[in-house]
Chains A and B, each alone.
Chain A
Amino acid sequence: MFVLIVGAGRVGSTIARLALAAGHEVSVLDEDPLSHERLDEGQTTSWEDAGGRFTVGHAIEIEALEEAGINEADVFIASTNGDNTNLVIAQIAQRKFEVDRVIVRVMDPARASWYSHQGLHTICPTSAAIAEFKTALEIA
């Protein structure tokens, strides 16, 4: 599979490394050139030598998305630090580039829930944290 990950923060870069290690083709897009360091972290070879791709560019720019390979992507992951950016680029990936699987991180549980009802595959770390706290506190 060809996985395009937009936003190489802690989550995006870790998923990128895991997907590459699992044998997938992985391309990462981030507007900050320094985010590349997170991809190399703890690895013996550089991200590119390991077979990964990295593009510097803004998530909403069509040229950046195309350079990062959105036209060939089977999976699109929106994991920038902005909920609205993620929700917009996920819909662009879905409607304009017709990517098969689009997964989007949304920190706000309310928007995550509404957009998941609209047919987007949303992942909400806030809801996950709340669930863990509930378990830790042993409240139902």
Chain B
Amino acid sequence: MYVVIAGAGKVGWNLARELIGKGHEVTLLENNRRRYLTIEEELEHAVQYGDASELWVLERGGIQRADLVIAVTGDDEDNLLICQIAREKYLCERIIARVNNPRNLQWFKLLGIQPAVSATDLILRLIEHEVPSYGLVHLLDLPAEQLEIIEVEVAAGAPAAGKSVEQIDLPEGSLIISVLRGGKGFVPKADTVVEAGDEVLLVLDPGLEEAITKQFAPDGLGPSG
């Protein structure tokens, strides 16, 4: 895979290093001369000097043949524009944008730049994951593919507690893909019994969260109930 990465901060540099280690071809673009020279000592020709929001810099970096463009500069407007140009001008099918200020996430969505990754959001999700309430945790959202993976804890007295997977009244378009019990995860079969205290991972079509939560919340009510 050929990957163009805009921005050689900590994220960009480490991404480049990891991807090169996995055998991918990478070009990293960095606008700061001193930063570029430091990184060039390690990555050599895989890093290029220039402003990645300039078209000629992108073209010199080989954006025309990129399979993936990742924009991880410290500036949200730059990341947005680089991804928009990559997709709409150079017809790159896969883009990933970093959102520095989560309040700007709405603009990435407005202009169709997905996925947009915000470290703040990721940490918030981890907090939700580590401090479970009877809400559900979104582990993965794939809006373009219309799929989500969520995690939900089985409450004592929930409709699903003590039932086998096939008995649980789940809406069409959802599936239990894993059960976490006592710190270990396993893939359940149709006759696996789900117990109170288990954490259940489900894959689902967006919009089914409420119907699913009902099966796992204490009295069959959603988090708002």
Binding site for B on A (CB under 8 A): 60-62, 82-85, 87-88, 91-92, 95-96, 108, 110-111, 114, 118
Contacts and interface: CB of A to CB of B under 8 A. Distances in A.
A92 B88 CA distance: 17
Contacts of A95: 110-111
Interface residues of B, number: 19
Given A84-B81, A91-B111, A95-B110, 8 more contacts: A87-B77, A88-B81, A92-B107, A108-B54, A110-B56, A111-B53, A114-B85, A114-B89
B52 to A, nearest CB: 10
A contact face: mostly helix, strand, loop, or mixed: helix
B153 interface: no
A25 to B, nearest CB: 26
A62 B104 CA distance: 9
Interface in B82-132: 85, 88-89, 103-104, 106-107, 110-111
A121 B138 CA distance: 40
Contacts of A83: 53
A95 B107 CA distance: 10
A88 B80 contact: yes
Interface centre among B78, B81, B85, B106 (most CB of A within 10 A): B81
Contacts of B209: none
Nearest to B53: A84
B88 A88 contact: no
A95 B111 CA distance: 8
Contact of B55 (A96, A114, A118): A114
27 contacts: A60-B76, A60-B104, A60-B107, A62-B106, A84-B81, A87-B77, A88-B77, A88-B81, A88-B107, A88-B111, A91-B110, A92-B107, A92-B110, A95-B110, A95-B111, A96-B110, A108-B54, A108-B55, A110-B54, A110-B55, A110-B56, A111-B55, A111-B81, A111-B85, A114-B55, A114-B85, A118-B88
Contacts of A82: 77
Contacts of A62: 103, 106
Nearest to A82: B77
A99 to B, nearest CB: 14
5 A-B pairs with the lowest CB-CB distances in the bound complex, closest first: A84-B77, A110-B55, A84-B81, A88-B77, A85-B77
B78 A84 contact: yes
Nearest to B80: A88
B219 interface: no
